[in-house]
């Protein structure tokens, strides 16, 4: 198909490499170029069939999956290398690594083939990958040859592995988060310096005030006598991890000294930490706005370009003729049904004049993005199959009962009783039989619902709660049956299986949330932001991985974990006499060590939560060197001050968008038009299985108002208006921003758009809403 | 003066009681009423001279100060009542309390005299105060009579004392903060319930997963066997205070169980706590916007009313004649100089047509609020006194040197060297002599600056940094001299004096901040929000006081503090055998008790910081009852989840306003006009002593463009444009909002304005800026 191959070219000649799939506007623009013979000669990019085939192959999901697989393998190697969770010989891991590197190199070569030379070499991402591959190979060779002559060296290139995760085009979101951090750095630096300066001033004060008093800490060590120790203690106090212990000796000595600590906490913990959040949040918001503005204008720009290619002069204005328009839509969306096409045309060509004007043409990409549903015409299969039974009075009574509010309430009560039974002792046979009763009650509920509601509507693509309900029950059923089978067969409970059954049984209680509307709203918002939260997962993975590799090099083997029941002197000090009488050993933190990747990740998680991090840092500093504390401080700055704050900023922003939407209907012009035509269905209406009723009403009113012809053409097709409930924050913001651009606004030029900078996003006189 | 007495009436008949001083627009409106004979007959409020005298007396600063004093005394009584820091007999404290109550009652009666009956009785604040007075009296009598027959009862009315602090009209800001909390409650309630529900589900899971394993905590007690204990531990885990200890036994037992805790922390600590912040922040922002909108429209409304009274028809439009306008201004600002008046007229009556049009009249209140400075014409007193010396080449060289950048750098280096000397050992005589050297260097610096810059400009009202500089140096000088005197006289160091000297000496180092521009900006923002932060101080005081009184009733005497050097068994368990082997005793928290008001406040501060709060809660639960934990959980919810989050929201908002201002000049129309006329001076220009130069330039250009006549009239007067740097967040937001209202917009009616609700602040289609 000529249009599509052109489309690849358009995505492709864009100044940025193809980070995502082509959007609808890219496809439209490409199709416009191709369909117009006049332009066909000077299409501004190469379309040799081979390049395009290569390009498609590059973007094929198998190739993407393979890349991700090799990245995963490369990162997992740390589990098998010394210090290993599952040790493998060096030869095995190094062969695996070389394999991965080859795959990465192949991917890169492939990318180079489908990208203009200049663009490829300009992109730092590609350079990064190449340099990392070379460095890793060098490291492998050096380490391997040294190992061969029994000299142990450091596999330093392992730290570089996350580079592959970040730099392949698939990880756009993670890169964006990193960009966000990088952009925040200059602003946060000054606040951080001021904070450090302030901390040093307070350290000096503490040294002078408490240093000569001869005070002792609870452990009996001298209190506040060394300026470096004081600075560390005060840094820890900012994280609140050693409050109030650090204050107690001074406070015991004199009531008034507590004022010093209270002042310090107010200034540094409360004010400075809030300022950090403010700086991070402000930057996050600024860059988010900028990216969205860029996207919105880029889209507008492409649509205008496409329009300009296809336009013909009719009367006083430029328009696109119906035939050309239809051809274009068919090229871009080959699978479109004719009724759907008819609907789109009716919306785009209001007056049925046989052509589409500019304003309506610009909306075409959005229009194509709106889902069309046809489920409405379907009746319950049982109704078609055994109508006399399904429509009998008993059956109708059951359906009415299931739809009734009281049905929900009864099951809520059942769930609560179930919760009490779960809390009761398992060994009681009565209790364990009750479990089967509850399980069957839940299954009956689901069957009743399936009987009442049309199954395909009930398990629609986005009926999250119904799916959740169903899966939890089925999983519990399977696990319980499996457990019972194992138990009766082998006469003992499998521990893992039992744990899973228990967890599933309790998760079932979450169903109560469904019946409380306010809870549902909160949870839906949380679920919506879930995918983006995964981005933070990727970000955290990269940082954790780097720190874990470094941590394993520095700390591995220094702290040993013994079985908790061992009480040998060695076990009590985690196998390291240096830890004798420390808080680390006393609190039994021996398992918090860097002896393998998994343990390291858990330690880093504990450090992220912050509490007791000074105990862990202190312990590891004792078994190595005091300078090791720097590792932990660096981790705190990177993860807690930067990443956690960005995470909070992200959640704040997501909730603000959700809140402002709750109050106001944001409808794009298209959505309004669809509603006017009476062919729109809101997501919420689909939600509760009330769809058929609505459809009936709408169908009827439609007939009345529009006559039979149109009804025929449109019957069975309804636009599902992408609900605000299931949109991402980005999509919502973009929609809001677009509703701000005037339809006749041509927007800035392409160069200007691509060079938008966040600092000029503020209008000269910012309006009230902006700042308040 | 008739105008002013009317003004009191206007402020006064407003639907709200006079919570603050009359604003300029109130005065203008009142003056308009009075000056216009035709309206004089039907002024819509009573102006009997006695009422007005009473009103003035009510608002007099001595009366306000007296009220505050009695509130202070009333609250302080807790220091002297059992359990007392400084015990006084019951008779003494009860007499003092009755005195305070009398004063409050008197104040209330006074208020009733100057307020319309209906308004007075409608106001819940007044009812609150009356009820509290009566309840306190009843409690005093009951407690006193029981005490007389030696029965000890509870002085429960002490909890009500903060009511006086909140409900007197002077505490508008604290009430606003309370309103903010109250408004947030419904929204936060559902999130909180969901959070609790989620926590209970996890508790149930923990009971099932870990309850039967026979695991032990580090202290050797059974691990996760009781559902209530588990729920408490998991609540503590949300605050991160017991991480990772709570996880360790399960983690030691099996690696996989750490996933349970990690999931819990991600969901509850990170996501839910951020959602709490989002909810609180969203509400805070919504209500802030609403209040500001109300104020802005109210101002507009009053100015339009005043204009309508005074307007006459000239040509096609309604205007206010110059004579009437001047009379009005003179009534409102009796001390205005004639050159100032001339300036105002020139700005208001651009075309010098002899009358002021509506748009310019509406701005009059803002115009009157702008400060006028006349310092510019002043020369350095030494120049006037000994011009030949001051203008000599040596003197000029010194002045140039002091103004030079290198001078600042040299002193920064000196400060850094000073910091090193402070860190060195005090006892070294060389070091202690160096201290005198540094002190004299700083004094020389200040003298040099005073020699170079005009002293009154240098110590201008808002030259915060110069004042700071001066005060720190002088205080250090005085303290050092005093200390040296005491030392030489009595041959020993006074400990308190020495501490003060040390602190002052170190605070001097903060001067480095002044020379780094970026630091200065951050600190200035922090200083600007300082006054509002004090509001939070008031709020925290009220909550702390209430909790402290309750805490003292429940916990006093249960835990004893012994001298830290005591190692008797009793001292080791804080005088309570129940605490044997607990973390509370082991960490030596004996001084964290509720035995007097001051100690209680410090314990509450520690609970606010959160870390180790479960140890304190656990300790007090052991010496009383497990239910005592509820007291600590309540405190956590009120202070940490609500107040601290509001505080963070406030700082975020303040910084966002500061950031968006940094990027864009928000100038009101008036400020623009003033700049156009060349008679404006920006705060920043005044800042660095460069004023005179600027003035000279401006004076000269002024002559050129406007001729001599005007220069004469205006010479010596310059408008100081209220700098954004020293405005409060509220004022800035109001200014931004006003620049949004079109000049011809009459705004909604008074009733509508007063009934503005935050929920209709969202426009139907919120713009992009609003939500992003």
Give B558-609 pLDDT, tens digit per residue: 888 887 777 787 888 888 888 888 888 888 898 999 998 999 999 999 999 9
B chain contacts of residue A605, beta-carbon cutoff 8 Å: 262, 265
Cα(B674)–Cα(B346) distance, rounded to whole angstroms?
10
Q: What is the enclosing helix (H) or strand (E) of A27?
A: helix A24-35
| Burial class, A149, CB count within 10 angstroms (exposed 0-12 / middle 13-18 / buried 19+) | exposed
B chain contacts of residue A274, beta-carbon cutoff 8 Å: 647-648, 651-652
**Interface check B522 vs A, CB under 8 A:** yes
**Scanning the structure block, which residue is given the tokens 């509508």?**
B752
Mean pLDDT of A681-690: 45
Asked if residue B66 has pLDDT above 70, the reply is: yes
Confidence tier at B69 by pLDDT (50, 70, 90): very high
Encoded tokens for B343: 């300036």
Question: Are B292 and A772 in contact (CB < 8 Å)?
Answer: yes
Residue of A nearest to B291 (CA): A772
A chain contacts of residue B270, beta-carbon cutoff 8 Å: 644, 647
Average pLDDT, chain A: 78
Residue of A nearest to B85 (CA): A255
Asked if residue A293 has pLDDT above 60, the reply is: yes
In this predicted structure, what is the pLDDT of residue B739? 64
Q: How many CA atoms lie within 13 A of A654 on its CB side?
A: 27
Cα(A512)–Cα(B201) distance, rounded to whole angstroms?
11
More confident call, B763 vs A598:
A598
In this predicted structure, what is the pLDDT of residue A708? 43
> Considering only CA atoms, which of B291, B288, B298 is closest in space to residue B14?
B298
In this predicted structure, what is the pLDDT of residue A606? 92
How far is CA A350 from each of CA A342, A356, A674, B667, rounded to the nearest angstrom?
12, 8, 11, 46
Asked if residue B668 has pLDDT above 60, the reply is: no
In this predicted structure, what is the pLDDT of residue B14? 39
Cα(B495)–Cα(B145) distance, rounded to whole angstroms?
46
In this predicted structure, what is the pLDDT of residue B105? 94
Segment A728-744, tens digit of pLDDT? 666 666 666 666 666 66
* Residue spans of alpha helices (H) in A453-516: 455-458, 464-490, 495-507, 512-515
Residue B701 neighbours by CB under 8 Å, 6+ apart: B678
- Order across the sheet with A718-721: list the strands: A371-373, A718-721, A680-682
Question: Are A660 and B519 in contact (CB < 8 Å)?
Answer: no
Residue A96 neighbours by CB under 8 Å, 6+ apart: A73, A77
Task: Give the count of beta carbons closer than 10 Å to the beta carbon of residue A571.
Answer: 18
In this predicted structure, what is the pLDDT of residue A153? 85
More confident call, A10 vs A253:
A253
Residue of A nearest to B423 (CA): A204
Which of A278, A609, A771 lies closest to B733 in CB terms?
Answer: A771
Average pLDDT, chain B: 78
Cα(B266)–Cα(B275) distance, rounded to whole angstroms?
12
Structural contact between residues B296 and B303, judged by C-beta atoms closer than 8 angstroms: no
More confident call, B63 vs B739:
B63
In this predicted structure, what is the pLDDT of residue A767? 36
Gap between the terminal Cα atoms of chain B: 52
Mapping DSSP to helix (H, G, I), strand (E, B) and coil, where does residue A319 land?
strand
In this predicted structure, what is the pLDDT of residue B736? 65
- Rounded to the nearest angstrom, the gap between the alpha carbon of residue B333 and the centroid of all alpha carbons in its chain is 29
Structural contact between residues B360 and B707, judged by C-beta atoms closer than 8 angstroms: no
Question: Are B499 and A209 in contact (CB < 8 Å)?
Answer: yes
Mapping DSSP to helix (H, G, I), strand (E, B) and coil, where does residue A513 land?
helix
**Interface check A470 vs B, CB under 8 A:** no
Mean pLDDT of A112-118: 80
Cα(A581)–Cα(A569) distance, rounded to whole angstroms?
11
Which of B241, B275, B740 lies closest to A651 in CB terms?
Answer: B275
Task: Give the count of beta carbons closer than 10 Å to the beta carbon of residue B5.
Answer: 18
Q: What is the nearest CA distance from A705 to chain B, expressed in angstroms?
A: 29
Asked if residue A683 has pLDDT above 60, the reply is: no
> Considering only CA atoms, which of A674, A657, A667 is closest in space to residue A723?
A667
Confidence tier at A203 by pLDDT (50, 70, 90): very high
Q: What is the nearest CA distance from A242 to chain B, expressed in angstroms?
A: 7
**Interface check B656 vs A, CB under 8 A:** yes
Q: What is the nearest CA distance from A193 to chain B, expressed in angstroms?
A: 9
A chain contacts of residue B499, beta-carbon cutoff 8 Å: 209
In this predicted structure, what is the pLDDT of residue B73? 94
Q: What is the nearest CA distance from B768 to chain A, expressed in angstroms?
A: 5
Query: In chain B, what percentage of residues exceed pLDDT 90?
Result: 18
Mean pLDDT of B522-549: 85
Task: Give the count of beta carbons closer than 10 Å to the beta carbon of residue A69.
Answer: 12
Mean pLDDT of A428-436: 79
User: What domains can be seen in chain B, in order of their start residue?
Assistant: 387-516 (1.20.120), 530-660 (1.10.287.70)
Segment B243-282, tens digit of pLDDT? 888 999 899 888 888 999 999 999 998 999 999 999 888 8
In this predicted structure, what is the pLDDT of residue A10? 42
Which of A218, A274, A289 lies closest to B772 in CB terms?
Answer: A289
Which of B244, B507, B651 lies closest to A606 in CB terms?
Answer: B244
Pairing state of beta strands B355-357 and B312-314? unpaired
Q: Helices A322-332 and A24-35: crossing angle, nearest 10°?
A: 130
In this predicted structure, what is the pLDDT of residue A758? 60
In this predicted structure, what is the pLDDT of residue B673? 65
In this predicted structure, what is the pLDDT of residue A687? 42
**Interface check A269 vs B, CB under 8 A:** yes
Q: What is the DSSP string of B59-87?
A: HSHHHHHHHHHHHHHHHHGGGTSSS-SS-
A chain contacts of residue B278, beta-carbon cutoff 8 Å: 651-652, 655-656
Query: How many CB pairs below 8 A link A and B?
Result: 290
Residue B339 neighbours by CB under 8 Å, 6+ apart: B713, B714, B715, B716, B717
**Interface check B745 vs A, CB under 8 A:** no
In this predicted structure, what is the pLDDT of residue B230? 92
Segment A228-240, tens digit of pLDDT? 889 999 999 999 8
Residue of B nearest to A765 (CA): B666
| Burial class, A178, CB count within 10 angstroms (exposed 0-12 / middle 13-18 / buried 19+) | middle
Question: Are A278 and B605 in contact (CB < 8 Å)?
Answer: no
In this predicted structure, what is the pLDDT of residue A12? 42
Mean pLDDT of B209-214: 84
Q: What is the DSSP string of A346-379?
A: HHHSTT--SEEEHHHHHTHHHHHHSEEE-GGGPP
Structural contact between residues A762 and B663, judged by C-beta atoms closer than 8 angstroms: yes
Q: What is the nearest CA distance from A405 to chain B, expressed in angstroms?
A: 21
Cα(A199)–Cα(A237) distance, rounded to whole angstroms?
10
Question: Are B245 and A502 in contact (CB < 8 Å)?
Answer: no
More confident call, B355 vs B366:
B355
Asked if residue A771 has pLDDT above 50, the reply is: no
Question: Are A769 and B772 in contact (CB < 8 Å)?
Answer: no
Which of B247, B253, B423 lies closest to A207 in CB terms?
Answer: B423
Q: What is the DSSP letter of B222?
A: B
Q: What is the largest CA-CA distance in chain B?
A: 97
In this predicted structure, what is the pLDDT of residue A543? 93
Residue of B nearest to A522 (CA): B191
Is the peptide bond preceding residue B475 cis, with omega within 30 degrees of 0? Answer: no
Query: Which of A179-183, A282-286, B78-82, B755-759 is the least confident region?
Result: B755-759
Asked if residue B527 has pLDDT above 70, the reply is: yes
Residue B148 neighbours by CB under 8 Å, 6+ apart: none
Structural contact between residues A407 and A444, judged by C-beta atoms closer than 8 angstroms: no
Query: Which of A171-185, A204-218, A616-630, B212-226 is the least confident region?
Result: A171-185
More confident call, A443 vs A371:
A443
* Residue spans of alpha helices (H) in B721-767: 729-738, 750-754
Mean pLDDT of A302-309: 83
Confidence tier at B500 by pLDDT (50, 70, 90): confident
Confidence tier at B135 by pLDDT (50, 70, 90): very high
Cα(A630)–Cα(A637) distance, rounded to whole angstroms?
10
A chain contacts of residue B666, beta-carbon cutoff 8 Å: 765-766
Residue B472 neighbours by CB under 8 Å, 6+ apart: B504, B507, B508, B510, B511
A chain contacts of residue B764, beta-carbon cutoff 8 Å: 664-665
Cα(A673)–Cα(A668) distance, rounded to whole angstroms?
9
Segment B125-134, tens digit of pLDDT? 889 999 999 9
Asked if residue A547 has pLDDT above 70, the reply is: yes
Most confident stretch, A62-66, A422-426, B678-682: A62-66
Q: What is the nearest CA distance from B243 to chain A, expressed in angstroms?
A: 6
Confidence tier at A574 by pLDDT (50, 70, 90): confident
Asked whether this complex has an ipTM greater than 0.85, the answer is no
Asked if residue A577 has pLDDT above 70, the reply is: yes
* Residue spans of alpha helices (H) in A578-612: 583-586, 597-609
More confident call, A680 vs B38:
A680
Segment B388-397, tens digit of pLDDT? 888 888 888 8
Mapping DSSP to helix (H, G, I), strand (E, B) and coil, where does residue A222 land?
strand
Asked if residue B166 has pLDDT above 90, the reply is: no
Q: Is the dihedral of CA B42, B48, B54, B56 positive or negative?
A: positive
Q: What is the enclosing helix (H) or strand (E) of A680?
A: strand A680-682
Cα(A40)–Cα(A29) distance, rounded to whole angstroms?
12
Confidence tier at B650 by pLDDT (50, 70, 90): confident
Asked if residue A130 has pLDDT above 90, the reply is: yes
Q: What is the DSSP string of B292-361?
A: HHHHHHHHHHHHHHHHHHH-EEETTEEEEEHHHHHHHHHHH-TT--HHHHHHHHHHHSTT--SEEEHHHH
- Order across the sheet with B718-721: list the strands: B371-373, B718-721, B680-682
Q: What is the DSSP letter of A80?
A: T
* Residue spans of alpha helices (H) in A510-596: 512-515, 517-528, 530-555, 569-572, 583-586
Gap between the terminal Cα atoms of chain A: 52
Mean pLDDT of A608-617: 91
Mean pLDDT of A445-471: 80
Query: In chain A, what percentage of residues exceed pLDDT 90?
Result: 18
């Amino acid at each position: 198909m000529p249009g599509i191959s052109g489309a690849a070219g358009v995505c492709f000649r864009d100044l940025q490499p193809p980070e995502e799939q082509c959007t609808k506007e890219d496809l439209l623009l490409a199709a416009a170029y191709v369909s117009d013979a006049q332009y066909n000669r000077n299409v501004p990019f190469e379309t040799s069939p081979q390049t395009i085939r290569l390009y498609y192959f590059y973007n094929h999901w198998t190739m993407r999956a393979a890349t991700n697989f090799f990245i995963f393998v490369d990162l997992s190697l740390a589990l098998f290398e010394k210090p290993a969770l599952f040790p493998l010989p060096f030869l095995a891991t190094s062969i695996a690594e070389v394999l991965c590197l080859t795959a990465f190199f192949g991917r890169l070569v492939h990318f180079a083939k489908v990208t203009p030379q200049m663009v490829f070499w300009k992109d730092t991402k590609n350079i990064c990958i190449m340099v990392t591959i070379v460095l890793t190979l060098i490291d492998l060779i050096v380490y391997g040859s040294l190992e061969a002559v029994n000299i142990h060296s450091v596999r330093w290139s392992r730290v570089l592995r996350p580079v592959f995760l970040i730099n392949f085009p698939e990880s756009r979101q993670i890169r964006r988060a990193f960009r966000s951090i990088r952009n925040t750095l200059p602003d946060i630096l000054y606040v951080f310096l001021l904070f450090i300066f302030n901390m040093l001033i307070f350290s000096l004060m503490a040294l002078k005030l408490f240093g000569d008093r001869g005070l002792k800490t609870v452990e009996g060590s001298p209190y506040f006598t060394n300026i470096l120790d004081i600075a560390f203690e005060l840094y820890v106090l900012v994280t609140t991890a050693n409050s109030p212990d650090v204050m107690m000796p001074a406070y015991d000595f004199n009531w008034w000294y507590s004022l010093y600590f209270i002042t310090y906490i107010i200034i540094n913990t409360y004010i400075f930490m809030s300022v950090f959040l403010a700086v991070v949040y402000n930057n996050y918001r600024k860059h988010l706005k900028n990216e969205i503005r860029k996207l919105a204008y880029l889209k507008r720009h492409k649509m205008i370009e496409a329009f300009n290619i296809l336009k013909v002069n009719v009367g006083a204005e430029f328009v696109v003729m119906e035939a050309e328009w239809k051809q274009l839509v068919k090229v871009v969306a080959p699978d479109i049904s004719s009724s759907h096409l008819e609907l789109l045309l009716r919306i785009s060509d209001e007056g049925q004049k046989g052509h589409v004007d500019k304003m309506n043409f610009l909306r075409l990409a959005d229009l194509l993005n709106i889902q069309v549903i046809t489920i409405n015409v379907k009746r319950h299969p049982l109704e078609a199959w055994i109508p006399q039974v399904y429509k009998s009075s008993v059956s109708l009574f059951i359906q009415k009962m299931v739809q009734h509010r009281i049905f929900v309430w009864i099951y809520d009560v059942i769930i609560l009783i179930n919760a009490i039974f779960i809390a009761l002792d398992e060994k009681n046979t009565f209790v364990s039989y009750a479990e089967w009763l509850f399980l069957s009650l839940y299954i009956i509920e689901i069957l009743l619902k399936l009987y009442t509601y049309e199954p395909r509507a009930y398990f629609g693509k986005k009926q999250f709660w119904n799916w959740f309900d169903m899966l939890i029950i089925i999983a519990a059923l399977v696990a319980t049956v499996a457990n019972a089978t194992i138990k009766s067969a082998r006469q003992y409970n499998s521990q893992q299986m039992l744990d899973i059954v228990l967890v599933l049984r309790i998760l079932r209680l979450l169903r109560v949330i469904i019946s409380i509307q306010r809870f549902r709203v909160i949870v839906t918002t949380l679920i919506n932001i879930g995918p983006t939260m995964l981005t933070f997962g990727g970000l955290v993975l990269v940082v954790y991985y780097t720190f874990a590799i470094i941590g394993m090099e520095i700390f591995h083997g220094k702290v040993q974990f013994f079985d908790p029941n061992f009480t040998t002197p060695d076990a009590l000090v985690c196998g390291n006499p240096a830890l004798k009488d420390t808080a680390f050993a006393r609190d039994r933190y021996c398992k918090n060590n860097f002896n393998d990747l998994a343990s390291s990740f858990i330690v880093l998680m504990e450090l992220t939560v912050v509490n007791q991090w000074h105990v862990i840092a202190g312990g590891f500093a004792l078994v190595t060197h005091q300078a090791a504390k720097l590792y932990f401080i660096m981790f705190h700055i990177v993860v807690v001050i930067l990443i956690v704050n960005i995470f909070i900023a992200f959640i704040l922003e997501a909730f603000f968008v959700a809140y402002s939407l709750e109050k106001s209907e944001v409808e794009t012009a298209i959505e309004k038009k669809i509603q006017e035509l009476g062919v729109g269905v809101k997501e919420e209406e689909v939600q509760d299985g009330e769809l058929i009723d609505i459809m009936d009403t709408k169908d009827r009113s439609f007939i009345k108002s529009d006559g039979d012809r149109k009804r025929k053409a449109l019957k069975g097709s309804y636009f599902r208006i992408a609900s605000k409930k299931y949109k991402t924050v980005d999509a919502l913001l973009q929609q809001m921003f677009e509703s701000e651009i005037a339809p006749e606004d041509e927007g800035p030029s392409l160069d200007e758009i691509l060079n938008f900078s966040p600092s000029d996003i503020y209008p000269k006189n910012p309006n009230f809403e902006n700042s308040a």
